[in-house]
Amino acid sequence: MIPDTFGGVLAFLALVAPGITFYLVLERRRPHQENTSFREVSQVGLASLVFTMVSITCLLLLHKISSALVPDISMWISQGNRYVADHPATVFAGIGLDVILACAFGAGSAWLITRKSVASISNVGTWYQVLRQERPPGTRPWLHIRLEDETEFWGYLRHYTPDDSADVREIVLGGTTVAWRRKGDTARSSIGDSWDAVCINADRIQYMRVIYRSISDGTLYGRQTKDSPGGKPRSASP
């Protein structure tokens, strides 16, 4: 059944929000399990019910401390719409607190389940994660790409195919600093003064190395993290 009123939509979202929050946090560090649509909806609904009931229990305890923020649930059940009409601010505040607490319980539970995992799972593609989301502000990704035939390329990222599941994926290096080294060569040669860009088929890539170079002064940085929002400086020359 799909809600046909704005209020019904809001109520539906409030009911499923805790379960959705739980699985969004959980799937950051644990692979998504493919299930039927019915099972996935049932899992979200069950998780939402559990976290909502825990939240309501906390609100019942909180009502004894502050009746201005938390509605009297027993009176609400007995009086119905009359209680809502007499205490609209308290009712809406209680609903808001219930959703916030339930979502917090969902996020906290998912974090506890996956707390020992040190690596996260990207839902947007590994290339997008490394080349865009983890790029420190004021830097550009500088890439070293080695192909299966041992040809190597160096250069700034210009374009790429973000979809990991695409049939044909390409990555493009561009600019005057693009360089390459063919199999058997001892040194890399600059080709950026003669060619503007190099398009590389991802199927031919053996590995790709990424560093982030400052646009202003060329300083090298590691990825952006919570501890290092600007990235940690790197001294090695790529």
Choose the final residue of a domain: 65, 90, 114.
114
Question: Do 153 and 224 belong together in one domain?
Answer: yes
**Same domain? 151 vs 209:** yes
Same domain flag for 10 and 88: yes
Q: How far apart are CA 45 and CA 143, in angstroms?
A: 45
Average predicted confidence (pLDDT) for the chain = 82
In a domain, 120, yes or no: no
- Residue 176: pLDDT over 90: yes
- pLDDT computed for residue 235 by the predictor: 77
pLDDT tens, 85-130? 877 777 777 778 888 888 898 888 888 887 776 566 556 678 888 9
Residue at 119 is within a domain: no
Is 196 inside any structural domain?
A: yes
Q: Is the model more confident about 96 or about 68?
A: 96
Q: Does residue 187 sit within a domain?
A: yes
Report pLDDT for 120: 60
In this prediction, residues 50-69 reach a mean pLDDT of 77
Same domain, 43 and 101: yes
Structure confidence by residue, pLDDT tens digits, 21-44: 888 887 777 766 666 777 777 888
Mean pLDDT throughout 208-220?
92
Last residue of a domain, one of 82, 114, 146: 114
Asked whether residue 121 is domain-assigned, the answer is no
Phi, psi torsion values for 5, nearest 5 degrees: -130, 160
Query: What are the E-state strand segments in the chain?
Result: 139-147, 152-160, 170-181, 189-190, 197-201, 205-214, 220-221, 233-234
The CA-atom distances, in angstroms, between 55 and each of 2, 97, 130 are: 25, 8, 37
Mean pLDDT, residues 58-85: 74
Q: How many domains does the chain have?
A: 2
Query: Is residue 45 located within the same domain as residue 103?
Result: yes
Could you tell me if 163 and 206 lie in one domain?
A: yes
Summarize pLDDT for 148-172 with one digit per residue, the tens.
999 999 999 999 988 767 778 899 9
Indicate whether 132 and 201 sit together in one domain: yes
Provide the residue range defining the domain that includes 85: 6-114
Distance CA 202, CA 219 (A): 28
pLDDT at 150: 93
